[in-house]
């Protein structure tokens, strides 16, 4: 028993928001894009009017967490190390606050996120109330005179009901010089009372040049060979402004995955079921979690574009032709309903650790059934 505890205490704990082999957002010194959001945070600090709660929203992988940690480093740094009067939250890489935040050792920083279960070797599906209760001990320690304390919740979407209510109490009565930074890809899932107590900064998708610059930096930091120029352009189209998705697609063979989805949809209602079973076997494996997620993102994005083309008569040529062949006007509503159902059930499958192979097979079977005349 003692040996098991010792192993657990020395074991490197995975992080749900880290792409394997690449720097974590707190280890990233450059922020690509989002200049307006950074300048707003700078103005608030420079004017001495920092709101106690900030809600950083936007699609996954665009730099929300990077901005949160960047602001945390700036708040926790010595005043002479800041450059907020010049519209930048950057502080020296070698300053004490920056070094401590990178390794999560700063006494003025608390990060709340989904814990890792050493027994099951999985992350919990939500942030439990016990995680948020760590705030009590954090708040019990007085900060030194004039110092800030920062709480980062990443992602706030993962808070369960009890955890959200516990966090709300701290947001309602925040201590002086305490800042809460809530990272959210789906702010609609948060309690209205949490949203109302935060200033909201909406971060948009990165444009292609900014996306490419961010990806290039990430590949260099991870010592990974970047894709060729032509491949990068294809990845940028599929990534939809998300650096995380760009990197994930490159690592998981996203272009080939997208092409297979195109073949499957293009041959509907005909289906090669042996190929489908091979796909489900491959993506349903525990080690294929990232590929499983990316596959469904690509599949659902493509379905959404086809349904949109059927509804509007627009869209790219081959996609428009496929929409006209598969989706008659009187069946448009049923296809839209199917898309919504599949997206919801896929999220539930991941959250509840359900049988992924069975979900893949069921999903493609329902799409095939919908495509029948």
DSSP 175: P
135: helix, strand or coil: helix
CATH topology of domain 252-371: Zinc Finger, Delta Prime; domain 3 (1.20.272)
Distance CA 219, CA 212 (A): 10
Distance CA 151, CA 133 (A): 12
Distance CA 93, CA 111 (A): 20
Is residue 65 within 8 Å of 27, Cβ to Cβ? Answer: no
Is residue 127 within 8 Å of 112, Cβ to Cβ? Answer: yes
Q: How many residues in total does the chain contain?
A: 373
Question: Among 359, 309, 17, which residue's Cα sits nearest to residue 154?
Answer: 17
Distance CA 370, CA 161 (A): 36
The phi and psi torsions of 37 (rounded to 5 degrees) equal -65, -40
CB 93: neighbour CB atoms within 10 A? 10
56: helix, strand or coil: strand
CB neighbour class for 84 (10 Å; exposed up to 12, middle 13-18, buried from 19) = buried
CATH topology of domain 2-202: Rossmann fold (3.40.50)
CB neighbour class for 195 (10 Å; exposed up to 12, middle 13-18, buried from 19) = middle
Spell 40-58 as b/e; 16+ CB within 10 A means b.
ebbebbeeeebebbbbbbb
Is residue 59 within 8 Å of 184, Cβ to Cβ? Answer: no
CA torsion through residues 116, 117, 121, 123, sign? negative
The phi and psi torsions of 197 (rounded to 5 degrees) equal -100, 5
Q: What is the pLDDT of residue 1?
A: 42
Is residue 243 within 8 Å of 213, Cβ to Cβ? Answer: no
Q: What is the pLDDT of residue 9?
A: 42
pTM confidence score: 0.91
Question: Among 132, 45, 51, which residue's Cα sits nearest to residue 89?
Answer: 45
Distance CA 286, CA 310 (A): 36
What residues does each domain of the chain span?
2-202, 252-371
Both structure tokens of 226:
């970047």
- The DSSP element (H or E) to which 248 belongs, if any, is helix 243-251
The phi and psi torsions of 333 (rounded to 5 degrees) equal -65, -40
Residue 266 CA, chain-centre distance (Å), reads: 30
Distance CA 307, CA 131 (A): 41
Q: What is the pLDDT of residue 10?
A: 41
Q: What is the pLDDT of residue 122?
A: 82
DSSP 225: P
Distance CA 87, CA 37 (A): 10
Contacts of 178 by beta carbon, 8 Å cutoff, 6+ apart: 52, 139, 148, 149, 150, 151
Contacts of 42 by beta carbon, 8 Å cutoff, 6+ apart: 84, 85, 87, 88, 89
Residue 156 CA, chain-centre distance (Å), reads: 11
Q: What is the pLDDT of residue 290?
A: 86
One digit per residue, the tens of pLDDT, for the chain of length 373 reads 444 444 344 456 788 888 888 999 999 989 999 999 999 999 999 999 999 999 999 999 999 999 999 999 999 999 999 999 899 999 999 999 999 999 999 999 999 999 998 888 888 889 999 999 999 999 888 777 679 999 999 999 999 999 999 999 999 999 899 999 999 999 999 999 999 999 999 999 999 999 999 999 999 999 999 999 999 999 999 999 999 999 999 999 999 999 999 999 999 999 999 999 999 999 999 888 889 999 999 999 999 999 999 999 887 888 999 999 999 999 999 999 999 999 999 999 988 889 999 999 999 999 999 999 8
């Amino acid at each position: 028993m003692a040996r098991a505890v010792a192993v657990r205490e020395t074991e490197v704990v995975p992080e749900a928001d880290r792409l394997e082999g690449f720097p974590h957002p707190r280890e990233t010194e450059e922020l690509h894009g989002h200049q307006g959001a950074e300048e707003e945070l700078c103005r608030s600090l420079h004017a001495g009017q920092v709101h106690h709660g900030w809600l950083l929203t936007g699609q996954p992988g665009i730099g929300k967490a990077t901005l949160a940690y960047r602001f945390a480093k700036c708040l926790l740094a010595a005043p002479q190390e800041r450059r907020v009067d010049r519209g930048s939250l950057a502080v020296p890489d070698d300053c004490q606050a920056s070094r401590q935040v990178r390794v999560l050792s700063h006494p003025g920083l608390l990060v709340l996120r989904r814990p890792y279960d050493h027994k099951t070797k999985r992350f919990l599906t939500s942030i439990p109330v016990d995680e948020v209760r760590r705030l009590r001990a954090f708040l019990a320690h007085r900060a030194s005179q004039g110092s800030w304390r920062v709480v980062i919740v990443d992602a706030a979407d993962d808070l369960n009901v009890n955890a959200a209510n516990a966090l709300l109490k701290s947001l309602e009565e925040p201590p002086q010089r305490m800042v809460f930074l809530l990272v959210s890809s789906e702010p609609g899932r948060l309690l209205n009372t949490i949203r109302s107590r935060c200033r909201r900064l909406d971060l948009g998708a990165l444009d292609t040049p900014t996306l490419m610059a961010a990806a290039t930096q990430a590949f260099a930091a991870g010592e990974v060979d970047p894709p060729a120029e032509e491949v990068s352009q294809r990845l940028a189209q599929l990534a939809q402004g998300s650096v995380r998705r760009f990197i994930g697609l490159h690592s998981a063979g996203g272009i080939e995955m997208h092409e297979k989805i195109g073949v499957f949809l293009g041959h509907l209602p005909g289906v090669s079921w042996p190929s489908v079973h091979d796909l489900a076997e491959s993506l349903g494996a525990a080690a294929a979690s990232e590929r499983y997620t990316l596959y469904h993102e690509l599949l659902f994005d493509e379905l959404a574009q086809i349904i949109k083309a059927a509804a509007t008569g627009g869209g790219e040529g081959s996609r428009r032709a496929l929409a006209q062949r598969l989706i008659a006007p009187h069946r448009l509503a049923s296809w839209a309903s199917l898309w919504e159902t599949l997206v919801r059930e896929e999220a539930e499958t991941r959250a509840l650790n359900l049988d992924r192979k069975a979900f893949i097979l069921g999903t493609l079977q329902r799409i095939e059934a919908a495509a029948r005349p």
